[in-house]
Amino acid sequence: MDRIKDIIERSGAMTFLLVSPEDTGTIISSYKACLKTGALFVINLQAIYAVDKARKNLKDIPPFNWKNVKIKFFKEDLTGLKDVIPPPLLYFYNTNKIDMFGIRKKKGKILMLVSDEAMFPRVLKEMGGAEGAAVIYAGGGEASESFRELCIRKGLTLKFL
């Protein structure tokens, strides 16, 4: 958590977190880092649902403070999960959603979770760029060469956990 907190504090711009939605340990550490830094944690539907499912079995996962957590609905997540997530829970998630306009408006104080390298270029395009942003790579292993090159081309600083 301290490494994530330090990256958020030093970034001065938006910070991205590239992590699997099933990596609840890193997601919870990221949430705690956002609490300490005052950053808004933008999580996707697949990741928030994975955390909620894990919370039922693991009592050490804290409940989210929804003042600093928002959910970005990506079409891919919604397509795959709309029949899995119970309607009342999906409705609750919907009351905490954020769109790209809201994300762009608060760029400097956001840690945004992105599930995989393939989705990242689309997120950057929708953002209208994010030069100067930090990218925390928690994907396990090494980032692909094309991902590294994308970060360099877009003026992003790549950090590894």
Q: Which pLDDT tens digit goes with each residue over 18-62?
A: 999 999 999 999 999 999 999 999 999 999 999 998 988 887 888
**Residues with Cβ within 8 Å of residue 111, at least 6 apart in sequence:** 4, 8, 15, 16, 17, 30, 33, 34, 39, 40, 41, 42
Rounded to the nearest 5 degrees, what angle is found at the Cα of 72, between the Cα atoms of 70 and 77?
A: 130
In a domain, residue 161? The reply is no
Give residue 77's pLDDT: 81
In a domain, residue 153? The reply is no
CATH assignment at residue 58: 3.40.50
Average the pLDDT over 117-125 and give the result: 92
pTM for this entry: 0.93
pLDDT band at 140 (very low <50, low <70, confident <90, very high): confident
Q: Is 15 helix (H, G, I), strand (E, B) or coil?
A: strand
In a domain, residue 123? The reply is yes
Give residue 125's pLDDT: 92
**Domain with 62 in it:** 2-145
Work out how many domains the chain is built from and give that number. 1
Q: Within a 10 A sphere around the Cβ of 97, how many other Cβ atoms?
A: 13
In a domain, residue 158? The reply is no
In a domain, residue 120? The reply is yes
Q: How far is residue 117's CA from residue 143's CA, in Å, rounded to a whole number?
A: 8
Q: How far is residue 51's CA from residue 62's CA, in Å, rounded to a whole number?
A: 10
Express each pLDDT in 78-90 by its tens digit.
787 878 999 999 9
